[in-house]
Structure 1
Amino acid sequence: MGRWGITLPLTGVPLAEHRELVRELPDLGYTDAWSAETAGTDAFTPLALAAEWAPELRLGTAIAPVYTRGPALLAMSAATIAELAPGRFVLGIGTSSPVIVEAWNSVPFAEPYAKTRDTLRFLRSALAGEKVSATYPTFTVSKFRLERAPEPPPKIMLAALRPGMLRLARREADGAITNWLAPTDVPRVRAEVGADFELVARVFVCPTEDENAARGLGRLLISSYLTVPVYKAFHDWLGREDILRPMHEAWAAGDRKAANEAIPDSVVDDLIVYGSAARCRERVAQYVESGLDTPVISLLPTGEDPGKLVRALAVNN
């Protein structure tokens, strides 16, 4: 097994209480810790702590939105973690979603492809220590230079789902980050970026043998995420347009209960990893066997101690 990642912080666990577990992660076989940014912690603070607690880990943001920070602030945030974890930090950037960008941060969600491309190009220059004065199609920066550029500059990966963004990642980034896919979907995504290019995916894992509970939670998550237009388009491309149409129709009609009930068991079983810890490890390994380089476990709540579950899912078991 190569890389084996975990999403931090764990749901329901205060950030300050992660210290002992994070210190154990390398010995458990975890190689990576990746943060997320929705409505909990920001993407960078947990990684600053992890850089101190477990200096063996590779750290990454999956993802920092390109809209919710100005270009210079995003560069400064990345440079800070890159200085704390030299050569071990990956800056993952992406568009996020209209809910997070517009509804929560009051920023127009305009031209997502161009905004991501322009931010990537700016960050390449800024993180290399260059003085940047440039007019990009979606923003302008005048005379910005980091006071202390990180050495080496961090790798930059793009959140990418469909061919356009995946190909942009291949051309201009150091890797692609995706999520909400089954092991059988990996080859289609891999085909867009080629064989010699890092592909990272967040994998939703619910270590419980209560099948009904796991599927119930899975349905709630699927109806919440896959009704977002970008994820709908992603799964249409992956071939789930017809099987998910009843869910989308019920959701559009405002009937969430019916939308959840319309999701077939087969879709839940494809997209949510559940069962015993051993079965979950085997299922995550199937993503790697299908062509994924870096699986990043996102632990779903089961009612058990999250730290215990992280230890049970360790690749060294």
Structure 2
Amino acid sequence: MAHPTRPGMTVPLPGPLHSHQAKLAELADLGYSDIWSAESDGADAFTPLALAAAWEPRLRLGTAIVPAYTRSPALFAQSVASLADAAPGRFAIGIGSSSNVIVERWNGIPFEQPYKKVRDVVRFLNDALDGEKVSKAYDTFEVSGFRLGVRPEQRPQILVAALREGMLRLAGRESDGVIINWLAPHDVPTVTKVVTDAAGGDEREVVCRIFCCPSENSEVVRAAAKFAIAAYLNVPVYAAFHEWLGRGDQLRGMWDAWQAGDRKAALAEIPDQVVDDLIVHGSPAACRAKIQEYFDNGVTTSSLAILPLDPDLNHWQAVRDLSPSAG
């Protein structure tokens, strides 16, 4: 069965969390169906969604993503079950490996065996949400005698953030869907085929974080976007991802200059075409058309992330300009 198209927005929105009630209502009024939180160095992933659970029942809530490492297994299960209990049938937990910077440098946790860690957390959550006592040795941790005391009315969906084939197959084989990011619309079929094949041909939800800046000031947007692209695509897992997607020749100059320690030259080596592939920018109408290309190529759920690449960009006007009701 085909998944319905779900237009979503990344949260938290600008401003303090206590000020977001009216903004969340406007998101729903504008036709957004989902909000997706992340967890790095800002708000935790669950608090913005807990507020939304109480304030705006029209929105589905998801995490994109919670790192597999930064909560102990029992606490992870408690957090997931609590939010599922607060928002029955409209919460999805997205889990990923995150990065060595977030896990190891910021949280002091060894960033080891990321594939196995994500897989084990997915398996443990499935076991815990069954309501039975869990006493099991997983490859990366062991749980002895834990029983989840919160029983949500509806089991939350579990999604896996993935880049390359191993994690994509895990998403298709053992979860309800996949979370993807930093790719062009024409890259989506390459990714989704691996997921669908691993799922035995069954369709899975495909959530995509899409980076957007609805501005026609192309020179300014491209120059600022190159900083973001360099920051991400020099991380080894993202470099390998884009090599796999076939973007290696376009990015080789950037990678070589970065490795040589010449950051300025690395930025200059990023082709405008790569920026245009990975960042949605231009007029609002052009942006909406490109966002639609992601859906046409297999994305089922968007999580728009509005980037302030143009200093004159008004974030909330961008939210309105990119909304389903704007078309």
Is 1:248 matched up with 2:255? yes
Is 1:48 matched up with 2:54? no
Q: Could you tell me which residue of structure 2 aligns to residue 298 of structure 1?
A: 305
Q: Could you tell me which residue of structure 2 aligns to residue 71 of structure 1?
A: 73
Query: What amino acid sits opposite 1:197 in the alignment?
Result: R
Deviations 1:269-289 (A, max 9, x none): 000001122211111011001
**What 5-or-longer segments of structure 2 have no aligned partner?**
197-201
User: What is the DSSP-based 3-state SS (H/G/I as helix, E as strand, rest coil) of the residue aligned with 1:37?
Assistant: coil
Is 1:118 matched up with 2:120? yes
Q: Distance in 1 between matches of 2:294 and 2:127?
A: 34
Query: What amino acid sits opposite 1:57 in the alignment?
Result: L
Q: Could you tell me which residue of structure 2 aligns to residue 8 of structure 1?
A: 11
Asked whether the equivalents of residues 65 and 96 of structure 1 are also in contact (C-alpha less than 8 Å), the reply is yes
Asked whether the equivalents of residues 3 and 31 of structure 1 are also in contact (C-alpha less than 8 Å), the reply is yes
Q: TM-score, normalised by structure 2?
A: 0.94
Asked whether the equivalents of residues 62 and 159 of structure 1 are also in contact (C-alpha less than 8 Å), the reply is yes
Asked whether the equivalents of residues 21 and 307 of structure 1 are also in contact (C-alpha less than 8 Å), the reply is no
Deviations 1:216-238 (A, max 9, x none): 22101110001111111100000
Q: Distance in 2 between matches of 1:215 and 1:8?
A: 24
Q: Could you tell me which residue of structure 2 aligns to residue 31 of structure 1?
A: 33
Q: Distance in 1 between matches of 2:92 and 2:241?
A: 24
Q: Could you tell me which residue of structure 2 aligns to residue 308 of structure 1?
A: 317
Q: Distance in 1 between matches of 2:26 and 2:113?
A: 42
User: What is the DSSP-based 3-state SS (H/G/I as helix, E as strand, rest coil) of the residue aligned with 2:265?
Assistant: helix
Deviations 1:136-193 (A, max 9, x none): 1110011111221212110100001111111111110000001000001011011111
Shift in Å at residue 13 of structure 1? 2.3
Q: Could you tell me which residue of structure 2 aligns to residue 90 of structure 1?
A: 92
**What 5-or-longer segments of structure 1 have no aligned partner?**
none
Matches within 5 A, 1:106-255: 106-194=108-196, 196-255=203-262
Q: Percent identity at matched positions?
A: 56
Q: Distance in 1 between matches of 2:264 and 2:296?
A: 36
Q: Distance in 2 between matches of 1:253 and 1:81?
A: 46
Q: Distance in 2 between matches of 1:170 and 1:282?
A: 28
Asked whether the equivalents of residues 78 and 150 of structure 2 are also in contact (C-alpha less than 8 Å), the reply is no
CA RMSD of aligned residues (A): 1.2
User: What is the DSSP-based 3-state SS (H/G/I as helix, E as strand, rest coil) of the residue aligned with 2:15?
Assistant: coil
Q: Distance in 1 between matches of 2:12 and 2:77?
A: 22
Shift in Å at residue 256 of structure 1? 1.5
Query: What amino acid sits opposite 2:31 in the alignment?
Result: G
Asked whether the equivalents of residues 273 and 280 of structure 1 are also in contact (C-alpha less than 8 Å), the reply is yes
Shift in Å at residue 305 of structure 1? 3.1
Q: Distance in 2 between matches of 1:55 and 1:168?
A: 31
Q: TM-score, normalised by structure 1?
A: 0.97
Q: Could you tell me which residue of structure 1 aligns to residue 199 of structure 2?
A: none
User: What is the DSSP-based 3-state SS (H/G/I as helix, E as strand, rest coil) of the residue aligned with 1:109?
Assistant: coil
Query: What amino acid sits opposite 2:64 in the alignment?
Result: A
User: What is the DSSP-based 3-state SS (H/G/I as helix, E as strand, rest coil) of the residue aligned with 1:316?
Assistant: helix
Deviations 1:119-152 (A, max 9, x none): 1000001122221111111100111112212121
Q: Distance in 2 between matches of 1:236 and 1:57?
A: 36
Shift in Å at residue 2 of structure 1? 2.1
- Give every structure 1 segment of 4 or more consecutive aligned residues whose post-TM-superposition deviation is greater than 4 Å: none
Q: Could you tell me which residue of structure 1 aligns to residue 295 of structure 2?
A: 288
Shift in Å at residue 97 of structure 1? 0.3
Q: Distance in 1 between matches of 2:224 and 2:40?
A: 18
